[in-house]
Amino acid sequence: MKRFQIRTSLLVALGAALASLTILVWRYGADTEVSSEKIVVATVVGLTIGALYSLSATGLVVVYTTTGTFNFAHGGIGVFSAFVYWEIVENRTGPELPQWLGLLLVVLVVAPALGVAIDVILMRRLRDAPLVVQLMVTVGLMVFLLTLTGQIWQADKIRGVSFFWEGQGFSIGEQKVAWHRFANLVIAAIIAVFLRILLFRTRMGVAMRAVVDNRDLTALNGARPGALSAFAWALGSSLAALAGILVAPEVEFNPTNLNSLMLIVAISAAAFGQIRSLPLTVVGGLLIGLLESYNREWIDLGADFPFAGRAVAPIVLFLVVLALPQARLSVGRVSNNLRPIERTTHVWEGAVGAVFIIFMGWAIARGALHFLVWDPGEWSSVSLNKGISAMVLALIALSLVPLTGWAGQVNFAPLAFAGFGAFLFLRLGLWFGVPDTGGTGNLVWLPVIGLLCAPLGALLAVFAARLSGLYLALLSLAFALITSNVLFPHPQVFPRVHTFPSPYLDVGLFRIDFDSRFSFFMLLMTMFALGMFCLVVLRRSRYGRRWVAMQDSQAAAATVGVNVIWTKIVVYATSSAMAGMAGVLWATSKSTVDFRDFDLLNGLTIVLLMAAAGMSFPVAGLFLSFQFVFEGLAERLEQTGNVGFLVWLLKDFLAKFGPGMLAIGMVVNQRGAIFEMGKGFAPLLPWRDDARAELAAERATKREAEIGGLGLTEPFTSEAVVGLDSALGIVDDVTPGAGYRHGVARPMESTHD
Amino acid sequence: MTTPLLEMRNIRAGYGIIDVLHGVDLVLEPGSVLALLGPNGAGKSTTLAVASGQIQPSGGQLLIAGREVNGAKPDALARAGVCLVPEGRGVFPNLTVAENIRMMTFSGTSYGEVADKAYELFPRLGERRRQLAGTLSGGEQQMLAMARAMATDPALLMLDELSMGLAPIIVEELYSQVAKLAEGGLSILIVEQFAQTVLGVADRAAIMLHGRITRTGPPSEIAEELTAAYLGIDSGGH
């Protein structure tokens, strides 16, 4: 049955890929002739590149099957290792090393050390963490490694990695094959066979897989789970490094580029093998290599789709995830989530909070609270611009609260919805120009665009209906990549030249104009406060309860009569409408809209910061402003001449590494910063007797534990009482008075009968 | 007097700040079978978790063959010959039967030896060696878990709720294997909630209530007091 299912999914995915390919060739076939020679060339190129993809993907699969962690930092590790390799081999820092020695040094020493460090410092603490936290920490690690690589090896210099056996090759008939390409195939084959033998034929490999199944039982069998996990991470990192170094000469050598190639393709190929099967993963890698090669050779979508080639892997990923057989509803298992058991905010509290936020926004921008922001006087236009950018991101982040925070649907594509909203707004403005706002920007359109974006979310929900957890995250990842590589770069969507200015600060609502930066900033503040208030109301509604119930257990929700599919559709539509409206405001806030604004990494940063702040709290959206706050503070310091360490810390360190580090910080604080802050803040509010009671109870428990440590648990003997009294330095009625001296535990007759 | 194979002296242990064991004293003589009985939540499984190194005691002494092993890791104890078959099915569901058997070789027995013995004792496992353990029936899974106990020649065997969720006929079959092991001189500590099957195999029995051993004695005596113990009446006597 199992084998049959694997074949069905394979056939569906293959069939869909072939069908789309046929349509593409028929519709957009380039003029290039189809000769047997060209087919051979394209196939050889496709297979050798595909071999590298397979290599990268097997590393991802090895880490997943042996640690249970889906490692989004896989590409980041490969990129970092490839740059280290460049440094020692190409840049010749230190003694001159031949290529092969540099390769061995990085693959067998540097990368494994990095892998072990990741396991020991981070992953061990995440063993029982919910999936969202595990995913966010590895995504955070990816962002961190990419930022680190970008900071060490600044982008101002052009670098290149040369091929092994540069320029040498051999011939098959008329066709020349370079040695390095042939080597890719051989290396990928050797590694695949080696891994297959290691994982299935050796005791160590079997034990590595056993750790994922049941860690405690592995130890009871006598294997060392800690050492096995560390080895798995070392092995995975080595494979990432090897793939990174071999892919590097094939592409433009910069961190983002290399990462997207390594990670996205690896994820797609791994998904093809259901993140379990090594042979299918290798096939997946080769297939993607071939599809890309044939696409380059024979399909020409024209200048309108300049990056469509990059979408081959995401499209494969999308199709494969949809065709996966096992990604069904898991029945009878309460998901292991750490969603804080929060007290549901009252509507009046939401209203007070909203008014407070608007007031604070006004006070800060008007300079009334300059001691808080180190910006004396009214905000300059630079500061206002930063505030505007921050609030726009906060509004987009708000859309994640119901979807991911409450309903537990991991979504890496908030910017796809936002981009769609921005596009609709600009288009509608052109098509049905509204005269009194300069032809475009009447915000009356805002709810209309929200309504138009909702079906897009509903559509994704239909696809996502049967998925959960990791596969849902991968589906949204593929969706984000397809929109940002295929749809948004089209000139009819977001033009690449400055011919299509967005109505910057030229928006109005009926007869109110928001024509100054300050009024626009206040508009955004009000929008955010309003959104937050609506979410508070929504959380108390029947839908809010259903979403939370769905996250706790879909099966349980279904048994009490919740229509899970419909509930999912509603939450996706709601989130998509919110993000779409936020996208409109984003487009409005910028002088020109660029498709690059909506790329995956920007979207991931929003998701990461929200996760670190606490996805289920609407107010967490304000966290998105932290980068701008740091930058603003640094600029202020620079203006006042106070340059130095603090500026570097704020601008070059915290603002840049912040998102990654905050997400990594979830290792320690899995519930998010807002939860902890709220716990400290709530007891101070006069009407929160419950919070004070909770705090007191928590302190009492701690006290109890201390007393337990002093030995005052059963049997309740007088010795123990005397011992405790002397430790605490007290004399009370329980302690007999006569002969009792402070601090001396006098042996006594047992009172226990 | 011989050194006990397993001895617990005033062991205290728990989960986080919750104490479960409040001073457990327990002795298992070499070559004997001790049945540890008691109602739900008495602390029986926690006792085994301490004895196998999965939970570190917060107080008291854990001795194996006379040596104090407080703080030893479960894998070290396992390699030293302490074998715990945990509650539920002690198998790796996503590994095949053969791979599960390969996992049993960490304490020093060779794969061939373990496999031969396991398939000889439980021929059904041999027929399903390529099947994923998670797809076996409950009884077959428990056989596979027991195979580790039977085929790896441990010094101390601990069985946690062997009969849980199994048909009576399978329970009988499993306990007949346990009896064979006991005849061979293996020291066994058995934890069970339902006592009748296990009292037939045990040399001695102990009742556990509220995190303490409240009574130890020959199985025939203990059997009489069990009902009172299960109803929560402490029959006194230490």
How many angstroms separate the CA atoms of B141 and A217, rounded?
A: 14
Q: Is B95 on the interface with A (CB under 8 A)?
A: yes
C-beta of residue A617 within 8 angstroms of C-beta of residue A674? yes
Residue entry with tokens 């508009």: A523
The Cβ of residue A433 has, within 10 Å, a number of other Cβ atoms equal to 12
A372 band by pLDDT with thresholds 50, 70 and 90 = low
The better pLDDT of the pair A656, A279 is held by A279
Q: Which amino acid is at A466?
A: R
Give the helix/strand (H/E) hosting B27.
Answer: strand B18-28
- Contact between A213 and B17 using a beta-carbon 8 Å cutoff: no
Q: Is B173 on the interface with A (CB under 8 A)?
A: no
How many angstroms separate the CA atoms of B188 and B182, rounded?
A: 7
A13 band by pLDDT with thresholds 50, 70 and 90 = low
The better pLDDT of the pair A321, B225 is held by A321
Interior angle at CA B57, CA B51 and CA B60, nearest 5: 95
- With a CB cutoff of 8 Å and minimum separation 6, the contacts of A434 are A440, A441, A442, A444, A445
Nearest-by-CA chain A residue for B102? A203
Q: For B103, which of A206, A212, A701 is closest by C-beta distance?
A: A206
**Distance spanning both ends of chain A, measured CA to CA:** 66
Q: Which amino acid is at A150?
A: G
Token pair belonging to A318: 């999308």
What is the per-residue pLDDT for A567? 92
The better pLDDT of the pair A1, A341 is held by A341
Question: Could you state, in order of their start, the residue ranges of all structural domains in chain B?
Answer: 1-81+162-238, 86-154
Give the helix/strand (H/E) hosting B25.
Answer: strand B18-28
Secondary structure (DSSP) of A219-255: HHTT--HHHHHHHHHHHHHHHHHHHHHHHGGGS--SH
Write the secondary structure of A3-19 as one string of H (helix), E (strand) and C (coil).
Answer: HHHHHHHHHHHHHHHHH
A414 band by pLDDT with thresholds 50, 70 and 90 = very high
Token pair belonging to A545: 């309860």
Predicted confidence (pLDDT) at residue A703 exceeds the cutoff of 70: no
Q: Which of B94, B76, B79, B72 is nearest to B148 (CA)?
A: B79
**Distance spanning both ends of chain B, measured CA to CA:** 21
Preceding omega of A501 cis (within 30 degrees of 0): no
Q: Is B104 on the interface with A (CB under 8 A)?
A: yes
Q: Is B103 on the interface with A (CB under 8 A)?
A: yes
- Contact between A220 and B52 using a beta-carbon 8 Å cutoff: yes
Token pair belonging to A142: 């990816």
Nearest-by-CA chain A residue for B21? A714
How many angstroms separate the CA atoms of A199 and A186, rounded?
A: 20
What is the per-residue pLDDT for A12? 67
Q: Could you give the angle at which helices A414-431 and A381-398 cross, rounded to 10 degrees? A: 110
How many angstroms separate the CA atoms of A61 and A266, rounded?
A: 9
Summarised one tens digit per residue, pLDDT across range A508-544 is: 666 666 767 888 889 899 999 999 999 999 999 998 9
Q: Is B89 on the interface with A (CB under 8 A)?
A: no
- Phi, psi (rounded to 5 degrees) for A59: -60, -45
3-class SS at A215? helix
- Show residues of chain B in contact with A217, CB under 8 Å: 86, 90-92
- Show residues of chain B in contact with A713, CB under 8 Å: 19, 22
Q: Which of A283, A246, A264, A222 is nearest to A74 (CA)?
A: A264
- Contact between A220 and B54 using a beta-carbon 8 Å cutoff: yes
A327 band by pLDDT with thresholds 50, 70 and 90 = very low
- Contact between A222 and B73 using a beta-carbon 8 Å cutoff: no
Predicted confidence (pLDDT) at residue A31 exceeds the cutoff of 70: no
- Contact between A220 and B79 using a beta-carbon 8 Å cutoff: no
- Contact between B90 and A220 using a beta-carbon 8 Å cutoff: yes
Residue entry with tokens 């537990």: A408
Predicted confidence (pLDDT) at residue A749 exceeds the cutoff of 70: no
Rg of chain A over all Cα atoms, to the nearest angstrom:
29
**Which value, to the nearest 10 degrees, does the dihedral of the CA atoms of residues A478, A483, A484, A486 take?**
110
Q: Where are the alpha helices (DSSP H) in A540-672?
A: 542-552, 554-559, 564-589, 600-613, 626-639, 645-647, 655-664
Summarised one tens digit per residue, pLDDT across range A374-411 is: 556 677 777 888 888 899 999 999 999 999 999 988 89
- Contact between A216 and B74 using a beta-carbon 8 Å cutoff: yes
How many angstroms separate the CA atoms of A452 and A432, rounded?
A: 15
Q: For B74, which of A209, A220, A701 is closest by C-beta distance?
A: A220
β-pair partners for A176: A171
Q: List Cα–Cα distances, A189 to A48, A58, A184, A285, A744, in angstroms.
A: 11, 11, 8, 12, 75
Token pair belonging to A208: 């590595």
How many angstroms separate the CA atoms of A24 and A38, rounded?
A: 18
Look at A361-370, A589-598, A723-732 and tell me which has the smallest mean pLDDT: A723-732
C-beta of residue A106 within 8 angstroms of C-beta of residue A41? no
The better pLDDT of the pair A730, A360 is held by A360
Strands B204-209 and B212-217: antiparallel
β-pair partners for B160: B191
Q: Where are the alpha helices (DSSP H) in B70-217?
A: 74-79, 97-102, 111-121, 123-127, 138-151, 168-183, 196-199
Nearest-by-CA chain A residue for B154? A221
Q: Is A697 on the interface with B (CB under 8 A)?
A: no
Token pair belonging to A481: 């990549």
A653 band by pLDDT with thresholds 50, 70 and 90 = confident
- Contact between A207 and B54 using a beta-carbon 8 Å cutoff: no
Q: Is A5 on the interface with B (CB under 8 A)?
A: no
Token pair belonging to A664: 């990594």
Q: For A220, which of B86, B99, B105 is closest by C-beta distance?
A: B86
β-pair partners for B159: B85, B190
Look at A148-152, A173-177, A178-182 and tell me which has the smallest mean pLDDT: A173-177
Q: Which of B73, B84, B79 is nearest to B145 (CA)?
A: B84
C-beta of residue A240 within 8 angstroms of C-beta of residue A55? no
3-class SS at A340? coil
β-pair partners for B82: B156
Look at A10-14, A171-175, A209-213 and tell me which has the smallest mean pLDDT: A10-14
Residue range A2-155+175-323, CATH number: 1.10.3470
- Contact between A221 and B99 using a beta-carbon 8 Å cutoff: no
- Show residues of chain A in contact with B86, CB under 8 Å: 216-217, 220
Measured between CA atoms, how close is A752 to chain B, in angstroms? 14
C-beta of residue A528 within 8 angstroms of C-beta of residue A578? no
Best mutation site among A215, A220, A750 for testing chain B: the one with the most B CBs within 10 Å? Answer: A220
- Show residues of chain A in contact with B54, CB under 8 Å: 216, 219-220
C-beta of residue A57 within 8 angstroms of C-beta of residue A295? no
C-beta of residue A270 within 8 angstroms of C-beta of residue A236? no
Summarised one tens digit per residue, pLDDT across range A227-254 is: 999 999 999 999 999 999 998 888 888 8
Predicted confidence (pLDDT) at residue A8 exceeds the cutoff of 70: no
- Show residues of chain B in contact with A64, CB under 8 Å: none
How many angstroms separate the CA atoms of A177 and A693, rounded?
A: 75
Best mutation site among A217, A224, A701 for testing chain B: the one with the most B CBs within 10 Å? Answer: A217
Token pair belonging to A420: 């769609």
- Show residues of chain A in contact with B53, CB under 8 Å: 219
How many angstroms separate the CA atoms of A457 and A413, rounded?
A: 10
- Phi, psi (rounded to 5 degrees) for B34: -115, 130
- Contact between B78 and A213 using a beta-carbon 8 Å cutoff: no
**Which value, to the nearest 10 degrees, does the dihedral of the CA atoms of residues B24, B28, B33, B37 take?**
0
Q: Is A227 on the interface with B (CB under 8 A)?
A: no
- Show residues of chain A in contact with B75, CB under 8 Å: 218-225
A217 band by pLDDT with thresholds 50, 70 and 90 = very high
Q: For A222, which of B90, B99, B107 is closest by C-beta distance?
A: B107
- Contact between A225 and B75 using a beta-carbon 8 Å cutoff: yes
How many angstroms separate the CA atoms of A194 and A59, rounded?
A: 12
Q: Which of A351, A358, A354, A352 is nearest to A519 (CA)?
A: A358
Q: For A203, which of B23, B105, B148 is closest by C-beta distance?
A: B105
What letter does residue A308 receive in the DSSP assignment?
G
Q: Is B184 on the interface with A (CB under 8 A)?
A: no
Residue entry with tokens 């063959």: B65
Summarised one tens digit per residue, pLDDT across range A333-357 is: 334 444 445 678 889 999 999 999 9
Q: List Cα–Cα distances, A20 to A312, A315, A661, in angstroms.
A: 11, 10, 41
Q: Is B75 on the interface with A (CB under 8 A)?
A: yes
Q: Is A221 on the interface with B (CB under 8 A)?
A: yes
- Contact between B94 and A212 using a beta-carbon 8 Å cutoff: yes
Question: Could you state, in order of their start, the residue ranges of all structural domains in chain A?
Answer: 2-155+175-323, 347-671
Q: For B92, which of A214, A225, A705 is closest by C-beta distance?
A: A214
What is the per-residue pLDDT for B169? 87
- With a CB cutoff of 8 Å and minimum separation 6, the contacts of A614 are A340, A405, A620, A671, A672, A673, A674, A675
Summarised one tens digit per residue, pLDDT across range A117-170 is: 999 999 988 887 888 888 889 999 999 999 999 888 887 777 777 777 777 777
3-class SS at B191? strand
Q: For B103, which of A207, A224, A713 is closest by C-beta distance?
A: A207
HSE-CB for A559 with a 13 A CA cutoff:
7
A308 band by pLDDT with thresholds 50, 70 and 90 = confident
Predicted confidence (pLDDT) at residue A3 exceeds the cutoff of 50: no
Q: Is A210 on the interface with B (CB under 8 A)?
A: yes
State the 10-residue block means of pLDDT for chain B, 238 residues long. 87 83 91 90 91 91 90 91 88 93 91 92 91 91 89 90 85 87 91 81 90 89 76 50
The Cβ of residue A345 has, within 10 Å, a number of other Cβ atoms equal to 19
What is the per-residue pLDDT for A452? 92
A735 band by pLDDT with thresholds 50, 70 and 90 = very low
- pTM value is 0.84
For the segment A677-691, the average pLDDT, to the nearest whole number, is: 86
A10 band by pLDDT with thresholds 50, 70 and 90 = low
Predicted confidence (pLDDT) at residue A738 exceeds the cutoff of 50: no
Token pair belonging to A266: 């690896």
What is the per-residue pLDDT for A742? 45
Q: Is A205 on the interface with B (CB under 8 A)?
A: no
- Show residues of chain A in contact with B102, CB under 8 Å: 203, 206
Summarised one tens digit per residue, pLDDT across range A42-89 is: 888 899 889 999 999 999 999 998 888 899 999 999 999 999 999 888
Token pair belonging to B159: 């069985």
Q: Which of A453, A452, A461 is nearest to A409 (CA)?
A: A461
Measured between CA atoms, how close is B191 to chain A, in angstroms? 17
For the segment A358-374, the average pLDDT, to the nearest whole number, is: 75
How far out from the chain centre does Cα A104 lie? 31
- Contact between A213 and B95 using a beta-carbon 8 Å cutoff: yes
Q: Which of A629, A701, A608, A564 is nearest to A404 (CA)?
A: A608
Measured between CA atoms, how close is B33 to chain A, in angstroms? 21
C-beta of residue A473 within 8 angstroms of C-beta of residue A412? yes
- Contact between B95 and A210 using a beta-carbon 8 Å cutoff: yes
For the segment A280-286, the average pLDDT, to the nearest whole number, is: 92
β-pair partners for A512: A509
Q: Is A214 on the interface with B (CB under 8 A)?
A: yes
Strands A169-172 and B6-15: unpaired
| Domain B1-81+162-238 bears CATH identifier 3.40.50.1110 | no
Token pair belonging to A720: 């123990």
Size of interface A-B (CB pairs under 8 A): 79
